[in-house]
A and B are shown apart, each in its own frame.
Chain A
Amino acid sequence: SAVISQKPSRDICQRGTSLTIQCQVDSQVTMMFWYRQQPGQSLTLIATANQGSEATYESGFVIDKFPISRPNLTFSTLTVSNMSPEDSSIYLCSVDKSGGLTDTQYFGPGTRLTVL
């Protein structure tokens, strides 16, 4: 497995502001993903964070709203920009350590965001 940490663990923010979430893994991993889980809902993939290149975004998510960085194989950030109450969610970082496309994904502890 992989040890994954996220910062912050939770935050309460005002609308119109931005928050950057950090994800740190204890070893180099091939694939890193960012998910959003709105209250009472399942997980929705925001984007795949690619090392050294632009992230690959899913339908409905755009770089201007959710810029992502991945400067190396152990670290990534997700920024939630110009926040509104609809952005209140748990944001989860996930990694695939092996690079095998059917292998287990492991998740960080999540960042619980509330936007007022």
Chain B
Amino acid sequence: AQKITQTQPGMFVQEKEAVTLDCTYDTSDPSYGLFWYKQPSSGEMIFLIYQGSYDQQNATEGRYSLNFQKARKSANLVISASQLGDSAMYFCAMREGNTNAGKSTFGDGTTLTVKP
């Protein structure tokens, strides 16, 4: 089974609106970290936001927030007030603390297009 599932290959959003990118994960390790990265067409992987499995509150970083629902094993990224520069590929990833030797597992990505 895939450890990270991103079910939306492509998403469109109107400029200035909010958008949610879905991510579900699968692990039996109680200690893990969840991440979102943005990859523009230049190819660079830009770290956006982190959520630890023991964190009580949802992570927020500026316009980015992570809707962490532990029981449902979901870690959706919410981008508020979308900007044209948000158009990129977005990857959800996980690192497990006790298994997999700290290696990250990535989802297949979601291509976000922001329309003017």
Interface, chain A (partner B; CB < 8 A): 1, 31, 33, 37, 41-43, 45, 48, 56, 90, 92, 94, 96, 100-107, 109-110, 112
Q: How far is the CB of A44 from chain B (nearest CB, A)?
A: 8
When the two chains form their complex, are residues B32 and A102 in contact, meaning their CB atoms are under 8 A apart? yes
Interface size on B, residues (CB 8 A): 28
CA distance A1 to B31 in the complex (A): 22
- The stretch of B16-24, B62-70, B77-85, B96-104 in contact with A is B96-104
Binding site for A on B (CB under 8 A): 31-33, 35, 37, 42-47, 50, 52-53, 91, 93, 95-98, 101-104, 106-109
Closest residue of chain B to A92, judged by CB?
B45
Contact between chains at B32 and A106 (CB < 8 Å):
no
Contact B47 A45 (CB under 8 A): no
Shortest C-beta distance, A16 to chain B (Å), equals: 25
22 contacts between A and B (CB under 8 A): A1-B47, A31-B102, A41-B108, A42-B109, A43-B106, A45-B103, A45-B104, A56-B101, A94-B45, A100-B97, A101-B96, A102-B32, A102-B96, A102-B102, A103-B33, A103-B50, A104-B47, A105-B35, A105-B47, A105-B104, A107-B37, A107-B46
